[in-house]
Amino acid sequence: MRVLSFDTSTEWLTVAAGDGSAWTAHQERAGSANSERILPVVDTVLAEAGWRLADLDGIAFGAGPGAFTGVRIACSVAQGLALGANIPVVAVPTLLAVAQHAWSEHSATRVLACLDARMAEVYVAFHVRDSDGWRTEREPAVVKPADVSVPADGAWDGAGDGFRAYPDLAAHTRVARVFVDTLPTARAIGELALPLLASGQGVAPSEALPLYVRHRVALTTSERNAGMRL
């Protein structure tokens, strides 16, 4: 099966096209230009893979949690492309994609996935990989770094830019290893989406929704003036 996947939930724009055995991928630090860059990069990645939208079996996107605008961009683009191509969509949690990337790159099987949520908070989730794939030990949440609590049933590896934003978090959580450069990459999202598409778990474009754990979507004037971002 062939999938196009992408994520704009962080400052990084990441796009991939693959079938499980071969992947074409692109990653750039687009920041606020994510909305302008995503479609040109999608075109480039598909061209490099030698595919058209009509050749795809589905589209997957990073559904969040993450930057509110970025999550909405990815969801909207996925819905629009899938609607035009008449193919299903898979919404993949970004923290699960972080865990998948950590497993792929570092063989991590017990992952505290942590992304910077701005506003002195982090997005966190705990995922464990076994012979059946991933299971979620704790669902995604947004908390203060000092409030992150770790299950006491074994050692965990930390992954994600939340550990870079808050360097004391590694010691606080007592993780065995830390991978601060691990992202919810498009390839990781695609790898997670392929078995779901194969088993018919893709949904209609209109049913693909973002995953929000922070329901506050606006800053006060003083917060904006202080340079804070959601």
Confidence of residue 228 (pLDDT cuts 50, 70, 90): low
pTM, rounded to two decimals: 0.93
Inter-CA distances, 118 with 1, 9, 123, 143, 182, Å: 37, 12, 9, 11, 17
User: β-strand 157-159 against 133-143: which pairing, if any?
Assistant: unpaired
Report the percent of the chain where pLDDT is more than 70. 93
Residue-wise pLDDT tens digits, 106-148:
999 999 999 999 999 999 999 999 999 999 999 999 999 999 9
Burial of 217 (0-12, 13-18, 19+ CB in 10 A): exposed
Q: Do the beta carbons of residue 25 and residue 14 sit within 8 Å?
A: yes
Is the pLDDT score of 225 beyond 80? Answer: no
The amino acid present at 181, given as its one-letter code, is D
Residue-wise pLDDT tens digits, 8-62:
999 999 999 999 999 999 999 999 999 999 999 999 999 999 999 999 999 999 9
